[in-house]
Amino acid sequence: MALPEKRIFRGIPYVTGAASATLLAADLELSFWGGVDPRTGEIIDRFHPLNGRFLKDTILAIPGGRGSCGGSVIMMELILNGLGPKALIFERREEIITLGVMVAEEFFDKTAAVVTLTPEDFRDTLGWDGKTVHIRGELVSDAPLKADSANGSAKHAVDHNKIDVQLTDADRAVLDGASGKAAMISLKIIIRMAQMMGAQELMDVSQAHVDGAWYGPGSIAFGQRLRDWDGKFQVPTTINALNVDQKCWRVIGINADFGSACDELAKAFVDMGGKISFTCAPYLLENAPRLGDPIAWGESNAVIYANSVLGARTLKNPNMFEALIALTGRAPKAGVYVDENRFASIWFRVTPPDGADDSFWPILGYALGAIATTHIPVITGLEHLKPSNDDFKAFSAAFATSSSAPMFHMVNLTPEAPTVEAVCANSMVPKAIDVDSKDLYAIWDEFNHGSEPREIDLVSLGNPHFSCREIKEVARLCQGKTKKDDVSVIVTCGRSQYGLASQAGYVGELEKFGIQFLQDTCWCSIEEPVIPKNTRTIMTNSGKYIHYGPGLTGRQFAFGSLEMCVDAACTGKTTGDPPSWLRGVRST
């Protein structure tokens, strides 16, 4: 009997290495942050077909990442914990996860091979799921490869004379160590990423928003090494939400070792010149960028909002990469920094329902993001709705969760889209995809597990961080009502918006109602004891948290509008019925 022929595919090795392991494969993007537990290596995204599987000592094949920019840190932590895959195979260039591997390699001398195949070859590898797969350099095979068949696993080095990216004399001086070790290592990784992105040169940025959250021991080592290597941010830099409220974490019972570690990491970023903002909604700050400003932001919802709603320009930077850019002031001139990469390649023609409330925007954002995947969409049909900044915030967060696209356009609503043609290359409009109430009902049903009634123990508000205007709206909805004693309600927000809401009296009103406010942190980082141990079901109005929350907390979830959340706080339950604008609609 003839043996099956060995198949070998040749790809692009963005991190060179060699590995042989069982293939774990799925034809669906995965967010490592919120989708993989760095402490166990388990895939915890309940929406993903690999949910419940473990990454340790596998070769993972997925089309690419999606969702949170924090996936880079999770990848780094997995490598350092010895719980990650030995190698990764992607269908397309994957910047977020690959950056995590590069940082692990450059900072800690640990790595994993990363290879991108053509779509056709990637599809063929999916059929190898559960079988032993072999990688060496650019080659991927279902049979062992000779050691000399490709480059080995030597650590990547930057050779000034072989860099495809044009460097200035100042850049070369930084690589030679003239600005210190932190800047040198930072620029080395920036150049590796620039080569990966196909950038021909680097460019200056005007500001940055960096992540200072703790994801594990690697996170704090990363921040402290940069600080101890005399790293200083070269542009005005704000800091994203932390894991704890710095002012009260001891009072509310956070473990002392964990709280202190979070404080130490935040201090490292402050020591490097970071501004104490501690918010995942930097577009609410006074220094928010303007149309055309080149910036370097992390935090997926903020990136989408900045590019789309403000018309600023930032890559969907993997966490840690935005800090490296801030330390040098230099970024790859690629992606949506460049005019032609901001064009839409997919058109959504939305038929909005009558009487839509605030729950419409996260549901729509999640639905469109899931269809768009990597494509920048142009969206029509919403012109008459006049969404508020908070509506855009909710849409951006949900869109960022279900897609990996860096932005969207809404005709007559976002600054670069006066018409459909204006945001399409050569005014060539793609074929329209119609989206109506049935599509949105399907997302509602997915969010609520079949829309069944539930007892509610905790109401979660503020993912992304609440604005003063949203706090005001909660105060209005709570007037004349009484919160049920055994239901907790927690709002997370940044210090600036909390200060405005406090001055206006809204915080005092809501604290009398029984609502707890947390600053600095947000729901992506909140665990017990802030979430009471006996909590079984959490209700939220966030399209982002309804996706990540079940995996992060192990609790059941329900989704609803802000008014539905307040009603649940008062009654202790949700009926499971959809909002009025979806009633009578059923998914196909």
pLDDT digits over 192-201, tens only? 999 999 999 9
Give me the CATH topology for the region 449-582.
Aconitase; domain 3 (3.30.499)
- Residue 451 has what pLDDT? 65
Kindly report the average pLDDT of the chain as a whole number: 94
Sheet holding 113-116, edge to edge: 8-10, 139-141, 132-136, 18-25, 58-62, 87-90, 113-116, 12-15
Query: Quick check: is 68 catalytic?
Result: yes
Of the residues 20, 31, 68, 467, only one is catalytic, namely 68
> Within 13 Å, how many C-alpha atoms sit on residue 367's CB side?
26
- Residue 241 has what pLDDT? 97
Each domain of the chain, given as residue ranges in start order, spans: 8-141, 169-337, 343-435, 449-582
Confirm or reject CATH 3.40.109.10 for domain 169-337, answering yes or no: no
> Which CATH number is 8-141's, of 1.10.10.10, 3.30.750.210, 3.50.30.10, 3.40.630.40?
3.50.30.10
Task: List the single range of 342-356, 412-426, 443-457 with lowest mean pLDDT.
Answer: 443-457
A 10 A CB-CB count for 147 gives: 9
For residue 159, pLDDT beyond 70 = no
Alpha-carbon distance values, 104 to 75, 189, 525 (Å): 9, 11, 22
For residues 451-463, give the mean pLDDT: 92
- Angle (CA) 421 422 424, round 5°: 60
For residues 384-411, give the mean pLDDT: 97
Q: Cα–Cα distance between 380 and 127 in angstroms, integer?
A: 39
Strands 18-25, 132-136: pairing is antiparallel
A 10 A CB-CB count for 27 gives: 13
Asked if residue 397 lies in contact with residue 362, where contact means CB atoms within 8 angstroms, the answer is: yes
- Amino acid at the residue 464: P
Asked if residue 516 lies in contact with residue 531, where contact means CB atoms within 8 angstroms, the answer is: no
Domain 8-141 identical in fold to domain 169-337: no
pLDDT digits over 299-339, tens only? 999 999 999 999 999 999 999 999 999 999 999 999 999 99
